[in-house]
A and B are shown apart, each in its own frame.
Chain A
Amino acid sequence: MKVETSASQATASSPVPSEVGTEAAALRSRLGGSPGTKSTIGAVLIFVAFVATWQIVATSGMVSKLLLAPPADVLAALGRMVSEGTLWPHLWATVQETVLGFLLAVVAALVVGSAFAFSPIIRNAVYPYILISQTFPKVAIAPLIVAMFGYDLAPKVVLAALLAFFPVLTNTMAGLTEISEDEVNLFRSLRASKWQELRYLRIPNALAFIFPALNSAAVLALIGAIVGEFVASRSGIGYAIQQYTTTGEVAATYASLIVLSVFGLAIYGVLTLSERLVRRAR
């Protein structure tokens, strides 16, 4: 008796979800394809809506022309900067500062991080100061650094490196030392040498920590470079933004911001690509 009821319940209830399923599928195909395509369409719609709102707000007079330029003007300004060649020296300066600062920070952080990871004595002696300097807002010393290193490339590289250094340092340390007791015992039971433990366990483990840190380090390096340019410089996108703002060239200011955003995306792309290459090489 009991079996019968449950069986009839099952037959009675089973068509309902399947009907819902087919309906949903039909709706989906009517709306145009897979969830992936829908997301793409959504993203494009958001972009169009954003630009349209921007255009409307900028041309309606709600916001002063000294604060906001319409997208069409921004695009025109960008075109002028490219065709007149004023963009390239500025972009090149910022790229140099950011990349050099980033590389300097990464190399220093890998060396210092490894030293800390393998020598608890060094780590315990130095780490409190690292912690203090990490909580310290480093952009505050930008004017001092400019005073020390002059107006050209050096102070921006130093500032970029200073900002980018800490996330890589802490993640290098964590990646090399956060190894479980079981993992250590596994390698001991396999009679692995210290070098093999490093090669097969600690370095690959550290890479998983370091790559995400590189992304934030790159962004921080760019911030460092721009702040350095704001304080004192003769070139760079940050310098250009300041010039355009003071001379009231609103469209060119926004165009410079767009250039910065594209540069940031390019860094992100290069890092993602290199992470994939390193993973494949392993």
Chain B
Amino acid sequence: MSALTHSTTSLSRAADPSGIKVRGASKTFNRKGKTVHALSEVELEIEAGQFVSLIGPSGCGKSTLLKMIAGLLEPSSGTVEVDGAVVTEPLPQIGVAFQKPTLLRWRNVLENVCLPLDIEKNRDAEGESRALDLLAMMGLAGFEKHYPGELSGGMEQRVAIARSLINQPSLLLMDEPFGALDEFTREDLNDELLRVWQHEPKTVVFVTHSISEAVFLSDRVVVMSARPGRIHGIVPIELSRPRERALRNTAEFYEAIRHVRSVLDEAKGNGAAARGKGPSDGEARP
């Protein structure tokens, strides 16, 4: 906790959270001569400072949508805007966390967190102390000199999240970052992520397979359906913040999960119906 108090100076120079507008965005891929509709006519607006999860069956294009917001994929038609500008390449104000921690195994923990600073050529003592603060906040104080090979999967993912936050992004994009972790570790990381988010307000777009994770973290859960990938419905989660561990045992929490699940079931039904007439098939990943 001492890290939280002494870190306020180094943690508070972030820009205002980003707003996102997705307008009629579609994405088609060519797979062995067949056209795959990964996303079809997606309309989505995310207010600055919101925590939004994308959830849906595999093949619904949630990762594709996230990569388009990140500027890693270009829409085949339509546009994605972040802070009023059309995204054509990764913007400087984003931080990205992937499903795999993607740490560089020849760099120790601190060096991995500082990689974005090295690339931006603005690494200094202040940046390094911010890295240490972030590591402390993620429960990794004292692990700075360890190498990725010496860490558990959960610890590696904590490092990856600290790395995605080092540049004070106003938009954090997370592609199933906890998908490979066991449930206990996942819940710990959810708590830590919310703690950091509370501390440094920013817009977060979070792709997940887990309903309870989406509900626990988000202001809104975007439920998607597959083949072609589209937004089926948006469920606002009106649980009060800050959200603590104990929330997971409350009736409201279960009620919200039940609600999201019912919308998700609807979405799957739709997907199955669409599959009968739709031309697309296959997992919608590039």
Contact = CB atoms under 8 A, between A and B. Distances in A.
B184 interface: no
A217 to B, nearest CB: 21
Contacts of A190: 90, 115-116, 119-120
B94 interface: yes
Contacts, number: 50
B141 to A, nearest CB: 24
A26 to B, nearest CB: 33
A186 B96 contact: yes
B94 A189 contact: yes
A186 B102 contact: yes
Given A182-B98, A189-B70, A204 B119 contact: no
Nearest to A187: B119
A185 B96 contact: yes
Interface in B92-106: 92, 94-96, 98-100, 102, 104-106
A196 B94 CA distance: 19
Interface in A243-282: 279, 282
B115 A189 contact: no
Given A180-B100, A180-B102, A189 B119 contact: no
Interface SS of chain A: helix, strand, loop or mixed? Answer: helix
Given A191-B119, A200-B115, A186 B98 contact: yes
Interface SS of chain B: helix, strand, loop or mixed? Answer: loop
B238 interface: no
A185 B72 contact: yes
Nearest to B167: A190
A185 B70 CA distance: 10
Contact of B106 (A182, A186, A187, A208): A208
Contacts of B188: none
Interface string B62-106: 000001001110000000000000000110101110111010111
B176 to A, nearest CB: 11
A191 B118 CA distance: 11
B127 to A, nearest CB: 14
A191 B106 contact: no
Nearest to B92: A191
Contacts of B71: 189
A180 B95 CA distance: 19
A183 B115 CA distance: 12
Contacts of A186: 96, 98, 102
Contacts of B94: 189
B163 to A, nearest CB: 9
Nearest to B100: A182
A189 B96 contact: yes
Nearest to A185: B72
A44 to B, nearest CB: 33
B90 A188 contact: yes
A189 B104 contact: no
Nearest to A184: B72
Given A185-B70, A185-B96, 19 more contacts: A182-B99, A182-B102, A185-B67, A185-B72, A186-B96, A188-B90, A189-B71, A189-B96, A190-B90, A190-B119, A191-B89, A192-B119, A200-B104, A200-B115, A201-B104, A204-B106, A205-B106, A207-B106, A208-B106
5 contacts: A188-B72, A190-B119, A196-B119, A207-B106, A208-B106
Interface of A: 180, 182-183, 185-192, 196, 200-201, 204-205, 207-208, 279, 282
Closest 7 CB pairs of A and B: A189-B96, A182-B102, A189-B90, A182-B98, A192-B119, A190-B119, A204-B106
